Structures are given as structure tokens and as C-alpha cells.
Amino acid sequence: MRKLLNTLYVTTPDAYLSKDGMNVVVTVKQQELFRIPVINIEGIVTFGYMGASPGLMKLCADNGVSLTFLSPQGRFVARVQGPVKGNVLLRTKQYELSNDKNFALHLSKLYIAGKIQNYRNILRRFERDYGNNSDVSSAVGILEVRKREVQRVEDLNQLRGVEGDAASVYFEVFPHLILNQKSDFPFCGRNRRPPKDAVNAMLSFVYTLIANDVAAALETVGLDPYVGFLHTLRPGRTSLALDVMEELRAYLGDRLVLSLINRRQVCAKDFISQGDESVVMTDSCRKIILTAWQARKKELILHPYLNEKIPIGLLPFVQSMLLARYLRGDLDDYPVFLIR
């Protein structure tokens, strides 16, 4: 099993990345703040526009370390990768199957059915822990219907329609899952670009972290993260990473955000309202989320398909590995990750 290393998150907006021998060095105004051997990390995510030296980029490329640039608010800017080392036969098969409408629809159905089932399981867990809630119970029932509808759709447009409706049902009852600080964290549905409340700001931020980890995992197993089956192809868009993300959003993203709020690890003062009715996180808030994210990735779970205990941080890699096996024909079907 692949070793789970650390991801280096650089949250200081005016930080510059460079190399010194085999070390990654972070400086601000030419003053060194931090250094770490490149062999101790598997990825670097930096929030800001100061950039990185060409030497640092080569060091990362030579050692298989992903380098991702995000805006200070957490919007994706770019990823830097070295020479493609994936299995050319696997990628050829991926490209061939991505053009097969029947195959693409089948795999997309699995992703969306898994996503909807994970929505249901989060709501059902809430009911087990806190008792019946008529709104939540109704949503659980509707989501079961939507999951069955997934199997009957005949094209990707119909599938996207069912997925969109299921997401609306789930997020409509999402406020019930916020147990503490309800007045400080109002939520009236999913919105983004820009997020209009603190909950959406955190969800968008965490989803970006998940997408980055999934893209890196896909490259690790030899797949092209830019060629997907459900999400349409678009220059610069990691469509396959967005596909694989669907089954992981609720478990990795939504649960983390709810935990941060309900455990009072974040509060209203960690967010700033802007003139265009958007809400952004403070630097300290981003650090709190990233610290919780790193800790969460080290927790162990029993993978439902492998029946082995793995760190949660390896979920993107495991699902990418299983997808690669399915595309090669080593598995009869793709085993989506389902919350127990």
C-alpha cells in the first residue's frame, strides 16, 4: 500500500517557494520561514500569487511532488506536473472508453448512485444519533427514489438532472445537521462563485482540497485526470477528478465542515462579508480547516471493498487504483465508495 506522506499547505499570501539542495524553502520578503526535505511530502498547495522558482518546480517534478497554486480565497489557479509517467496503455484505454457513450453512462451512473447513497447515509446517521426528524426522514425517502431513477436514465443529461435534484433535496435539510451555532451559520442551499455564506465558503474550500488530492492520485496510478466520463471536457479542467470526487464529497467534505461548526472549531468572526454579498474566510480560518483536514486524513477506516484498514487520506488513491483496474478489465465493475 502506498505510504501516506504530508501535504505542505502554504497559507501566507506573500510567501515565495524555492529550493535549497533537496529542501523546499518558504520565504517572505527574503526571510526564511520554513523548510522541509522534499522526500517528506507528497504535495504542495500554496495560496497566493508570489509563485515558486523554476528550480523548486523541477525538484517537485523529479520527486513526484504535486505543486498546486490557489488564490488567497482558495480558488484553483494552476497545477504544475512533471513528465507524464503513467502507463501509456492504460491512458489509451481511458481515452477509448471516454468516447464510448454506453460505458461513460454506466460509470457515471455508478458515481451518482454512490453520491446519492452517501447523502442518504449521512442523513440516516443523523437520525440514528439524534432521533427522527420529519424533514430529514422525507429527504431520505426522496433520495432513495432518486437513486433508483439513476438506473433508468438513458443519457448523461438526464443523469445530471437527477443528480441536481438529489443535491437540492439533500442541501435543503443540511441546516438540520448544524447542531450548534445555528444563528452564526445560516444555510439556505448550495451556492458558489462567490459563496454567499460561511457554510458555502467552507464547502467550496474543502471541495477544492479534495479535487486536488484526487487529481494527484489519478496521476499516481497512471490515469489522465483531465479526461472524464461524466463531467464534460474543458481546457484546464480535471474532469476525471471531478467524476471520482462525486462519491467522496459527502464523506470527506460535508462531514468535515459539519464537524468544524458543531465542535465550535470555527466561529462567526472567522469569516468576512464583502460588498458583492460574498463571504470569505480569514487566514486563521483557513489554517484551522487545513489542520483539521490533515488530522482527518490520518484517521483509519475499514475500506468496504478491500476490507482493509487504510488512512482516510488514501481514499482518493484507493478509488483511483480500483478505477484503473476496472478500465484495464481486471475488475468486472467499479466499486464505488459507500459510507457505512
Residue type, 209: L
Q: Which domains does the chain have, with CATH numbers?
A: 6-80 (3.100.10.20), 88-328 (1.20.120.920)
Question: Is residue 301 a contact partner of residue 312, using CB atoms and an 8 Å limit?
Answer: yes
Which residue type does 147 have? K
* Distant-in-sequence, close-in-space partners of 7: CB < 8 Å, separation ≥ 6: 41, 42, 43, 44, 45, 213, 294
pLDDT band at 1 (very low <50, low <70, confident <90, very high): very low
Cell 454512490 sits on residue: 114
The percent of residues in the chain predicted with pLDDT above 90, rounded, is 56
Q: For 141-188, how does the pLDDT look when each residue is reduced to its tens digit (9 = 90+)?
A: 999 999 999 999 999 999 999 999 999 999 999 999 999 989 899 988
pLDDT, tens only, 25-78: 999 888 888 899 988 887 888 877 788 999 999 998 888 887 888 777 667 777
pLDDT at residue 113 in the model:
96
**Amino acid (1-letter code) at residue 86:** G
pLDDT the model gives residue 84: 61
**76: which 3 cell numbers?**
484553483
Question: Among 6-15, 30-39, 96-105, 224-233, whose mean pLDDT is lowest?
Answer: 6-15
Q: What is the pLDDT of residue 2?
A: 54
Return all residues near 131 (Cβ < 8 A) that are at least 6 apart: none
Instruction: Tell me the β-bridge partners of 20.
Output: 23
Mean pLDDT of the chain: 89
Strands (E), the chain: 6-10, 15-20, 23-28, 31-37, 41-47, 66-70, 76-80, 271-273, 279-281, 300-302, 309-311
